[in-house]
Amino acid sequence: MDPTTVPAERGDFVAVSEEPIDPAALVALVTRNDAGAVVLFLGTVRDHSDGRRGVTRLEYEAYREVVEDKIREIVREVRGRWELAAVAAAHRVGSLGVGEVSVGVAVSSPHRPEAFAAARALIDELKQRAPIWKKEHWPGGAEWVEEGH
């Protein structure tokens, strides 16, 4: 995850990449002297899904520019609802094994209630609205599944 790869708006960071997501780098991107709260959320690949055990990996596909624009739109909306110092959001594409971080969001704010609320809204909206396709793999098969869970 290279913070220089995507131009920032208001100091915010948005990236869709095959590069691993570094939680410490996300936190560093939003840490500010005027922020008393930093909230980090990480979504990781688990070994099961609804009704299916034995998931071995996930495969994510996306049109990077389209998804980054959509995430920036969501960041603007979240900024319009809460007083925030900085926002960072990253989503992986490609093949990810169990335990790997697929998505991360970090939000800083002067106060903790706003940081928690904004981080929750950001990840929820990203999962619902960003056009990212997910394919689950398990021994003997694979299937595209609806993202947003």
Q: Which domains, and CATH codes, for the chain? A: 13-137 (3.90.1170.40)
Which residues are bridge partners to 38 per DSSP? 108
Q: Are 147 and 127 in contact (CB under 8 A)?
A: yes
Gap between the Cα atoms of 27 and 1, Å rounded: 12
Q: Of 149, 145, 148, which Cα lies nearest the Cα of 55?
A: 145
Over its length of 149 residues, how does the chain's per-residue pLDDT go in tens digits?
Answer: 654 444 344 579 999 999 999 999 999 999 999 999 999 999 999 999 877 789 999 999 999 999 999 999 999 999 999 999 999 999 999 999 999 999 999 999 999 999 999 999 999 999 999 999 999 999 989 999 876 54
Q: For position 49, what pLDDT does the model report?
A: 84
Q: Of 78, 75, 61, which Cα lies nearest the Cα of 18?
A: 61
Q: Which amino acid type is present at position 85? A: A
What's this model's pTM, rounded to 2 decimal places? 0.89
